[in-house]
Each structure stands twice: as C-alpha cells, then as structure tokens.
Amino acid sequence: MMDHRRSIPRTDVLLADPRLAEAGRRLGSERVKGVVVAMQQRAREGAISPEEVLPAALAALPASASGLRRVINATGVLLHTNLGRAPLSAAAREAVDRAAGATDIELDLDTGARGRRGRTALATLATAVPEAEAVHVVNNNAAALALAATTFAAGREIVISRGELIEIGDGFRLPDLLVATGARLREVGTTNRTAVRDYAEAIGPDTGMVLKVHPSNYRIEGFTASVPIAELEALCRRHRVPLVGDAGSGLLRPEPLLPDEPDVATWLRQGADLVTTSGDKLLGGPQSGLIFGRAELVEQLRRHPLARALRVDKLTLAALEATVGGPGTPTLDALHADAAGLRRRAGELAARLRDKAVAAEVVDSAGVVGGGGAPGVRLRGAAVALDERLAGVLRRGEPPVLGRVERGRCLLDLRAVPEADDETLLNAVLAVAHHVPD
C-alpha cells in the first residue's frame, strides 16, 4: 500500500506557487515557509490530505506582517486602553506613512546642518497652547512626570496631596513612579480634604517641587476639599518652588462637554510652571507625554540625560503634529456624536440584521470617555442588542468586534464606531450570527 506521505508536495514546489511567492514578498519568506512546513506536518499526521496542503497554507497566512489586528470598538468606551486608546485621524495616519521613510527629523534642509528634533511638531503644539513659553514631548505622561521629578526633586521632596496619590490600570501607582526617581514624597492633607495651609506647612528647604495631580479616573464626593492651581501658584512663587500640574486626560483647552476635566491652557493661565498631559487620550493622537510651561524649566528637562531615554520617534512626532494641527479627530467626533444620530444608525443596522433573520433591537446606551478620563460622565447614545452568546463569537471574528455584555445581552454601542464602518460591522455580525454556541 502506498504511503500517502510520499504525495505531500515538496517545500520548494509549494513556495514556487505565485500566490505563496507574492505572500513571501509581503510577509517575509521565512514566515511563509514556516506556514508551509506546518501544513506539511499536518498532512503527515493525516489531519489533511496532501492535496489540501497548498490551500491550507494559503488560508493560514496572516493578513499582514504584524500580529496586531484591527478591532471594531463597539464597547461604548471612547478611549479603551486595551484597544490602544485614541484611534488616529486620517491626517495622522497619512503623516505616519510619510514619516516612515527618510525625513528631515533632525536636519535643516536650508543650511544642511543639524536641526532641532521635531521642530515642526513642537511649533504646532506651541501654537495650540500660546500660554506655554516652551514645549517638550516624551513617550507618555508617566515619563513626563518621571522626567520632572528626576530633574527637580531627585534626592529632595515632592509635596503632594494624599487625595492625589492615584493608581491607574494594571496596578500602576503614581507614588511608586515618583519614588523610583529618587525623590521623597511629602504627603499633605487627608484622602478627602487638603487645604493650602497643608502645603504651606510642608514646603521647606528640601522641597524640589509641588505636584498637583488631577485624579481623572475616580471621584471623591461629599465632605471634600482640594487646593486649586491658582492658590498654589502664589505659595510656590513665594517659596520659589516649581509648581507642576498633571492634567492627565489630554485636553489642551476647555471642553464644554467635560467641564470638570482640567486643560493645559487653563492651568498655565492660573499659574502652573509646568503642565503635563497625555497625547493618546482626549487629544486624540499617538501615545506621548506633553510638557508645557516656562521656557527655562522646559529647557532643564530637555537637557537632562534622562530625556534622551524618553524621547519619541519620528512616527510619533509626525502623528502628533497632524493631530494637533490637522482636522478633527475620531475621538472628538465620538465625544460629540449626538444621541439621535446614534439611534438612527442603530435602527438601520438592527433592521438590516432582522431582514437576515438575526434577532436585533435598538436600546438606549450610556458610553464613557475611558482612558482614565471624565469619571462619572455618561454619554447618552444607542446600541444594537444581540444574543449574549454572540459576544465571544464576534470577538474571535474577522474583523474582531468588541461589544459589552449587559443584562444578558451583547450590546454593540455605536459611539466609538465611525459611521463609515457601519457596513463592516454589519457584515461582521452576519458572518457569525448563525453560529451561536449552545
């Protein structure tokens, strides 16, 4: 009896197939070869026939050379940390593509001499926040705080309210970061109440800086008190101590829909010497940490040896410049999406699903900002409600769709889904809707 393994196509023959050859140019020859070898092994084990090796290899090839997959965010969370927070605008994506090749990132084309790194991005940020004398960019907001603490308070004290010693996702605690820089924390006030006299009694010869942190991922209500930047400014100026504010959630200017979220421009006008914030939250750009403030202090940060380890690459600078200086972002579009428009879209999707014998209805839904911003704010909108069992199937589909399970239903909230993706979302649901697990 003939051994079927003798019929398995040779590796070189398979790799010569035009479709696999093209995939090798797109994905890398070693990656494609690995998939072919794996399918040959399946044939040797009898899991597939020799004739199925080629089609199985083609089907198993990844869509791109990166393992990251595009996900439709139907959770109702605008800035979902697990999904990469802010989606980039079309202008930012184009800027990243342009910057992927050789650029003048650190070259003055007029003189041929070395130029200021990221000068056009910095100029765009400075224009957006004229209250700042200077701007510096690092790789995230934690890095911005670490750089400030190292520069001004290594071996010295940081005066900070106990109510602002926050913890964010994955167990990251702000106090641990600050202490890791070599600074000592001088905690003042209590969890729920801090007064200006608490700061005044703590500031002394060992004070390196006073830090004001906006606790953007939680709220304390009831018998509370905190000290605004404007009151701290007079105290810090009197003692000649830098006042650093962590505004966190990425607003450069006030946002009417989020009146309790601080913004960089306002804090600078109120007297902060430096204000840090995130680029990939409400700003709607790439992951980065932005530092705005007094020119001499920003220059100290820029010249510190640690700044080199925290600097951003050309792709981030390009995306950041296009985000700040370009048209609106998907994040702002989602934030300002009106409930009536969301309900109309949800109704159209639900009707088309029902036409294909998929149980679907429109329900009210409350979205949130997410990403550690605007705690307690609910964004009124609408969702398509499906069978709860579809949640896992959709998550494993192509493209993956991430909704949320609530009250025994899978809700697809449309707030963070661009309207241009409605057809893709519809097709993703239809592709799996009749494969509900028992």
Determine the longest span between alpha carbons in the chain, in angstroms.
96
Could you check whether the bond before residue 254 is cis, i.e. omega within 30 degrees of 0? no
Strand partners, 291: 136, 276
Sign of the CA dihedral running 227, 228, 233, 236: positive
Which run of H or of E encompasses 124? helix 119-128
Q: Can you give the pTM of this predicted structure?
A: 0.91
Between strands 134-138 and 289-293, the pairing is antiparallel
Q: What is the pLDDT at residue 256?
A: 94
| DSSP category for residue 250 | -
Residue ranges of alpha helices (H) inside 304-432 are 305-310, 314-325, 330-335, 339-355, 390-395, 422-432
Rounded-to-integer distance, Cα 80 and Cα 132, Å: 29
Rounded-to-integer distance, Cα 26 and Cα 338, Å: 41
Helices and strands in the chain: count of H runs, count of E runs? 18, 14
Q: Digits of tens for pLDDT over the chain (438 positions)?
A: 455 677 899 999 999 999 999 999 999 999 999 999 999 999 999 999 999 999 999 999 988 888 889 999 999 999 999 999 999 999 999 999 999 999 999 999 999 999 999 999 999 999 999 999 999 999 999 999 999 999 999 999 999 999 998 887 677 889 999 999 999 999 999 988 999 999 999 999 999 999 999 886 667 778 878 899 999 999 999 999 999 999 988 999 999 999 989 999 999 999 999 999 999 999 999 999 999 999 999 999 999 999 999 999 999 999 999 999 999 899 999 999 999 999 999 999 999 999 999 999 999 999 999 887 787 889 999 999 999 999 999 999 999 999 999 999 999 999 999 999 999 999 999 999 887 776
Strand partners, 209: 158
Rounded-to-integer distance, Cα 115 and Cα 126, Å: 18
Rounded-to-integer distance, Cα 385 and Cα 367, Å: 15
Rounded-to-integer distance, Cα 327 and Cα 92, Å: 9
Rounded-to-integer distance, Cα 80 and Cα 71, Å: 11
Under DSSP, is residue 74 helix (H, G, I), strand (E, B) or coil?
A: coil
Rounded-to-integer distance, Cα 302 and Cα 284, Å: 24
214 with 282: CB under 8 angstroms?
A: no
Rounded-to-integer distance, Cα 238 and Cα 76, Å: 46
Rounded-to-integer distance, Cα 6 and Cα 248, Å: 63
Q: What is the pLDDT at residue 1?
A: 43
Q: Which domains does the chain have, with CATH numbers?
A: 8-59 (no CATH), 72-81+333-432 (3.90.1150.110), 89-327 (3.40.640.10)
Q: How many C-beta atoms surround the C-beta of residue 366 within 10 A?
A: 14
Q: What is the pLDDT at residue 438?
A: 65
